[in-house]
A and B are shown apart, each in its own frame.
Chain A
Amino acid sequence: MLPRLGYSEEADLPRSGVSCIVIVEIHALTKIYEGKQRVTAVDGIDLSVNPGEIFGLLGPNGAGKTTTISIATTRTLPTSGSVRIAGVDVVAHPAEARRYIGVVPQYNTLDRSLTIYENLYFHCRYFGFTHAQARQRSDELLAQFLLSERRKAYPSQLSGGLAQRVQIARAIAHRPTVLFLDEPSAGLDPQSRMAMWNAVQGLRKEGITVVLTTHYMEEADALSDRVAIVDHGRMLAIGSPQKLKETFGAQTIIHLTLRHLDAAESVAAELRLRPGVQNVELAQDSLRVFTNGAEGLLTDLIQAASPLGLRDIAISEPSLETVFIQLTGRDLRE
């Protein structure tokens, strides 16, 4: 038999799991809502998401995160610019693009007339699974998301956290290339939030790329490989949480609480010269060392501070919150 040289039509299209250099490609995206008040929800966003990445869109409410996700998931038409999902233009070929997309919206959109199992089963059928395939996939997902006991329950009988889990299971049922999560922890109690984070991190093992929006900086920090900070429809910065913190001056602060502060000034001057130390401030009963986290610094600091009667050490890790404040001059929660 001759080797197959040609490709079928479908083989040209990247399918779930097929490697593709960029999964989500957003170019010069704008969305203006005309009306009594002209609102520019998205104002020229450019970004690309790589395969297997967990990508966070961080910004306050009204920053344009949800609109960006809506456009990327074919639910909203952009005013200008383009979005490609796995190479497919979402405006020109929305139906095709949806094959690669899974969505967990902000609100609970589970089908209230169907059981949990049926929510998964029929979702699979919508994506062309046969009865046997849909049944197998639904059972598999129920087990994976620890929902097997609730298979016959209706969405109205579930807690917020459980409903969220069903929504995630449903969104990945057709094995999408990329999963969009819009404010996934909105309205969840801390325990459910942790469970949701675990579930999202688990998706990485399946090779699913995740794009999530959040206004919780802890969430963006804990989950994302890369974060884009958006405000007023514009992207202010993009990079790994670590890199953002380094670039925008959010440093680790080591607080050294001291007994004797007499010689503190000279120790501070000496410490300022050390590699990895950005600044040292003298506070009431302590030294505050600003650092970007150099190796072995902590031991050095302890040695240097010992003669001053070191009582306590506290470390404040840098956070995206401080990055956001730096970039916008505002608090995320304002």
Chain B
Amino acid sequence: MNNPQPSSDSTLLLKTFFGLLLRDLRVLSRELGPFLLRVGMQPLLFLFVFTFVMPHMAGGSPLASVGPGFGSVLLPGLMAVAIMFSGIAGVALPLSTEFGVTREIDDRVMCPAPVMVVALEKVVFSALQSIIAALLVIPMAIYIPATPVYPDLHRWWLLVLVLVLSSLLAGALGLAIGSSVSPKNIGLVFSIIVVPITFLGCVYYPWAYLDKIRWLQIAVLFNPIVYISEGLRSAVTPQVHAMPAWVVLPALLVFLYVLGRFGLRGFLRRVIS
């Protein structure tokens, strides 16, 4: 018999989690090209158009005069968008199909671990993709713009913290969407949730600059992307005015908790009837 040695519950739990992670890595490794295109295309084009093409235009772009250089504003913002999009593409889209038509998730749900582990693995795996996607933006911001944008890595610990929390948060949001929206409506979710929260997520402008439109400045505080952008801004481009870490980190934690709970409950409801 080549059965594995009976292992204690916690060891088996880790092995199961690792097995699930390996499965996702295998699938991703097969789709590495599409994955890179998916996460890279948007920041690439954004940087190209706004920090390379426009500054070269005759007369200069009016955007070039915004604050301390649009490139510096864009870098953390685009990282935030990258995190958000891979969270949703990495969890919401696959989950929605696996739950919907094919019920492919069933075999993983039947693994010898609490069902929650399957959901947590999805979130963790998506967070890994988000981190890769966010880090990809950094070299792009150095090489694409007319004037290179170098991140300031002096507060690297803050960058690590914000990256990890934001990526988990994006995964939790993906879980919440994926387990509560049918595959038929998933496209609609992009238009009515993902696009608005990105555009109103202080991605293309720092939150502080919203003070002229006070109501909006307050309203966007309910948008988790704001804290991702501002947190990254505070970590990598300290020259741009950003929310302080002591606001951003607790806010990220709160959103992570709320969305994570909501997502897990939705997941359990879909799996166990």
Contacts and interface: CB of A to CB of B under 8 A. Distances in A.
Interface string B14-40: 011011101100110010000000000
Interface in A108-143: 108-114, 118-119, 122-123, 125-130, 133, 136-137
A75 interface: yes
A129 B16 CA distance: 9
A208 B185 CA distance: 43
A109 B6 CA distance: 27
Interface in B172-220: none
Contact of B27 (A109, A113, A127): A113
Contacts of B20: 126
A73 B110 CA distance: 8
A114 B4 contact: no
B63 interface: no
Contact of A126 (B6, B30, B102, B111): B111
Contacts of B113: 95
B3 A16 contact: yes
Given A113-B27, A126-B20, A128-B16, A15 B104 contact: no
B22 A122 contact: yes
B106 interface: yes
B58 interface: no
Contacts of A99: 112
Contacts of A165: none
Interface in A1-47: 8-10, 13, 15-16
Interface residues of B, number: 35
Nearest to A118: B26
A75 B15 contact: no
Contact of B107 (A16, A111, A130, A136): A111
A147 interface: no
Contact of A128 (B12, B103, B273): B12
A76 B272 contact: yes
Given A75-B271, A110-B104, A112-B104, A128 B112 contact: yes
B27 A125 contact: no
B142 interface: no
B268 to A, nearest CB: 11
B62 interface: no
Contacts of A288: none
Instruction: Select the residue from B6, B19, B23, B110 with max chain A CB neighbours within 10 A.
Output: B110
Contacts of B271: 75
B188 to A, nearest CB: 24
A159 B18 CA distance: 31
A109 B107 contact: yes
Q: Give the bracket for the number of chain A residues in contact with chain B.
A: 35 or more
A122 B6 contact: no
A110 B103 CA distance: 9
B114 interface: yes
Instruction: Select the residue from A74, A108, A113, A119 with max chain B CB neighbours within 10 A.
Output: A113
Contacts of A15: 6
B272 A75 contact: yes
A70 B106 CA distance: 12
B4 A75 contact: no
A103 B110 contact: yes
A238 to B, nearest CB: 26
A111 B104 contact: yes
A318 to B, nearest CB: 38
A137 B110 contact: no
A109 B112 contact: no
A315 to B, nearest CB: 44
A282 to B, nearest CB: 56
Interface string A244-266: 00000000000000000000000
A126 B16 contact: yes
A145 interface: no
A129 B19 CA distance: 9
B227 to A, nearest CB: 33
Given A75-B272, A110-B104, A114-B27, 14 more contacts: A8-B6, A74-B272, A75-B273, A94-B114, A95-B114, A96-B9, A101-B110, A103-B106, A107-B103, A118-B26, A123-B107, A125-B23, A127-B112, A128-B16
Top 7 nearest A-B pairs (CB, nearest first) are A125-B19, A126-B111, A10-B6, A128-B15, A109-B106, A99-B112, A122-B23
27 contacts: A10-B6, A16-B3, A75-B109, A77-B272, A77-B273, A94-B114, A94-B115, A96-B9, A98-B112, A99-B112, A105-B103, A109-B106, A111-B23, A111-B107, A114-B23, A118-B23, A122-B19, A122-B23, A123-B107, A126-B16, A126-B23, A126-B112, A128-B7, A128-B11, A128-B12, A129-B4, A136-B2
